[in-house]
DNA sequence: TTTT
DNA sequence: TTTT
């Protein structure tokens, strides 16, 4: 099991790219997450984490997220290595976003907004032809 | 291990009470949480969960939360039994809130607000005379 | 957002059923989860939660789980209503299992076991023809 | 909000240290966490994450955990910087363990074991003179 | 109605 | 018994 849940703000607009061999969409950005406990009277502390989203979630992120937006990311931790030009190996720990939620509605209530008709969250899970899993009224017990 | 994380809105103002024997503060409310997957073309579905907060977190909730407010609750699931007047036993599953976060800032950005100086989150964990646990620059390795 | 993570033991063998209209597999069982904090010198306290798994996860649970087995369940909380024979409405809160993990290997290490070749975990997410999401070496950055 | 939940095995015995200025106990180790989805027919993939525990949880980890032990860690993600001897700044992402659970009982059932009388889990939260938070029978509603 |  |  490997779960990460973060609430924070994008430090920049997300970057959309595509995988070289399979042209899979990848979206990446950095999330600023405030710490809760710090030394008394100390100024606020913030951690910055690299987030990576794939496939449908990548498209969602690149379309609906911008710098400063407050979101909740549910995903998993992952480690990646890369070698710099001096041949030195670097380890980087990233959060792979599996679900993304808006954590605030920027617009005042009542004001029309094109976003009203857009999805509020997305996940890696299938959405077309999806067999209902919340099949409550048919529960056989 | 027993963890619950919910994002949703209060359906009413929270209720503050005190335990009979030890006068411990308890705050309770109901949280409306929208479902993510439903059958195609079906109307939105929502679950309603009873939330209970104790001690400092109870005081925080009763002070800063109101009907309609969007929050994130981190806590644990718990079961409680009570017997009705016919002597029938009932089982109820509640979420004990251990941490509470605001999930949106109602006020427009830039506008002065007394809340700017109030805590944005609270937990059951101690806060006075608290030995720092984020003691980074002193890490002995 | 709606996440639940529990570690505990099955109180009975799981029950496998099928939905009436769509014949969707549903597996249900009860999970005993020990509490961590109780009053000093008090006996251990345990909560019992109803767990429901659908589709592939239902088949996994009914095949690999038995009474007493220790597992980790990752899922979401859900509420369901049913009316008893006196027409009284009842509310029940269940955990919908989205991922299931074994939390201990019963057999001693080194001993051959048919389970060595069976899945250790399953989720609602697709597994056939699955486009890799851990496509690290192809990352375009 | 910042939550991480990992299940995996220690790659080495944990290392216990003490902070220079305040002599606070810190325990660190590396956790091997298997991935769930990998490309078809590919060999198993594993991520390795640095874990840091403080105070009481540090003492628990150093006392009860060893290389190979399977545990569940609940905590938070944190970033730390350090400068190497060439003055280059490095960023490292660590998991601060707030709660630690055993995920398997190594010994066969029935065999006496000193561990039977030791704590099965520990957290940063206070344990002495602890006002009960599971004060069920006194609930004023 | 409960598991180890 | 429900919120936006």
Tens digit of pLDDT per residue, chain C (141 long)? 999 999 999 999 999 999 988 899 999 999 999 998 655 566 789 999 999 999 999 999 999 999 999 999 999 999 998 888 888 888 899 999 999 999 986 543 333 333 332 344 555 443 333 334 444 445 666
Q: Is B44 on the interface with C (CB under 8 A)?
A: no
Q: Are C104 and D103 in contact (CB under 8 A)?
A: yes
Nucleotide nearest to B31 (CA to C1'): F3
Q: Could you tell me which residues come within 8 angstroms of residue B8 by beta carbon, excluding any fewer than 6 positions away?
A: B31, B32, B33, B34, B49, B70, B71, B73
Nucleotide nearest to C81 (CA to C1'): F1
What is the model's pTM?
0.81
Nearest to D37 among C5, C37, C134 (CB): C134
Angle (CA) D91-D96-D101 rounded to 5° is 145
Among B7, B70, B133, B136, which would you mutate to test the A interface (most chain A Cβ atoms within 10 Å of its Cβ)? B7
CB pairs under 8 A between B and C: 62
Residue of C nearest to B93 (CA): C93
Q: Is C128 on the interface with A (CB under 8 A)?
A: no
- Alpha carbon of D12: minimum distance to chain B alpha carbons (Å): 16
- Alpha carbon of C38: minimum distance to chain D alpha carbons (Å): 6
User: What is the rounded average pLDDT for all residues in chain D?
Assistant: 79
Q: Which of A122, A108, A4, A128 is nearest to A65 (CA)?
A: A122
For the segment A108-122, what is each residue's pLDDT rounded down to a tens digit? 333 333 233 234 455
Q: What is the mean pLDDT of residues A39-46?
A: 73
Nucleotides of E under 7 A from a protein CB: 1-4
Tell me the CA distances in angstroms from D131 to A85, A131, B96, B100, C50, one per residue in order.
57, 47, 15, 20, 29
Nearest to C1 among B1, B6, B47 (CB): B6
Instruction: Tell me what pLDDT residue B48 has.
Output: 96
Q: Which of A118, A10, A140 is nearest to A60 (CA)?
A: A118
Instruction: Tell me what pLDDT residue A121 has.
Output: 56
At A138, is the secondary structure helix, strand, or coil?
Answer: helix
Q: Which of A93, A22, A23, A85 is nearest to A52 (CA)?
A: A93
The share of chain A scoring above pLDDT 90, in percent, equals: 60
D chain contacts of residue C3, beta-carbon cutoff 8 Å: none
Task: Answer yes or no: is C34 CB < 7 A from strand E.
Answer: yes
Instruction: Tell me what pLDDT residue B135 has.
Output: 45
Rg, chain A, Cα only: 18
Angle (CA) B16-B17-B19 rounded to 5° is 150
Q: Which of C58, C5, A78 is nearest to D45 (CA)?
A: A78
Residue of C nearest to A138 (CA): C19
For the segment D31-90, what is each residue's pLDDT rounded down to a tens digit? 999 998 655 566 789 999 999 999 999 999 999 999 999 999 999 999 998 888 989 888
Q: 3-state SS of chain C?
A: CEEEEEEEEECCCCEEEECCCCCCEEEEEEEEEECCCCCCCCCCCEEEEEEEEEHHHHHHHHHHCCCCCEEEEEEEEEEEEEECCCCCEEEEEEEEEEEEEECCCCCCCCCCCHHHHCCCEEECCCCCCCCCCCCHHHCCC
Domain locations along chain B: 4-129
Q: Which of A105, A101, A79 is nearest to A6 (CA)?
A: A101
**H helices present in A7-116, as ranges:** 55-64
Handedness of CA D103, D107, D111, D113 (dihedral sign): negative
Q: Is A81 on the interface with D (CB under 8 A)?
A: no
Q: Which of C102, A74, D121 is nearest to B1 (CA)?
A: D121
Two tokens, residue D43 = 């060999």
CB pairs under 8 A between A and D: 62
Instruction: Tell me what pLDDT residue A84 has.
Output: 86
B27-59: string of b/e by CB count within 10 Å (b at 16+)?
Answer: bbbbbebbebbeeeeeeeeebebbbbbbbbbbe
C43-80: string of b/e by CB count within 10 Å (b at 16+)?
Answer: eeeebebbbbbbbebbebbbebbeeebbbbbbbbbbbb
For the segment C57-82, what is each residue's pLDDT rounded down to a tens digit? 999 999 999 999 999 999 999 999 88
How many CB atoms are located within 10 Å of the residue C20 CB? 12
Q: Which CATH superfamily is domain D4-129 in?
A: Nucleic acid-binding proteins (2.40.50.140)
CB-based contact B20 D141, cutoff 8 Å:
no
Q: Is D91 on the interface with B (CB under 8 A)?
A: no
């Amino acid at each position: 099991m490997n779960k990460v849940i973060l609430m924070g703000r994008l430090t920049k607009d997300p970057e959309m790219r595509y995988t070289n061999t399979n042209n899979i969409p990848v979206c990446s950005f950095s999330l600023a997450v405030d710490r809760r406990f710090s030394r008394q009277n100390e100024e606020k502390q913030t951690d910055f984490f690299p987030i990576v989203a794939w496939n449908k979630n990548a498209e969602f992120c690149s379309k609906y997220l911008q710098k400063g937006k407050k979101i909740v990311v549910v995903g998993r931790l992952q480690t990646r290595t890369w070698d710099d030009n001096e041949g030195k190996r670097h380890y980087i720990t990233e959060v792979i976003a599996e679900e993304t939620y808006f954590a605030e509605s920027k617009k005042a209530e009542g004001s029309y907004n094109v976003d009203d008709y857009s999805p509020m969250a997305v996940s890696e899970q299938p959405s077309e032809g999806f067999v209902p899993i919340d099949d409550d009224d048919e529960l056989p017990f």
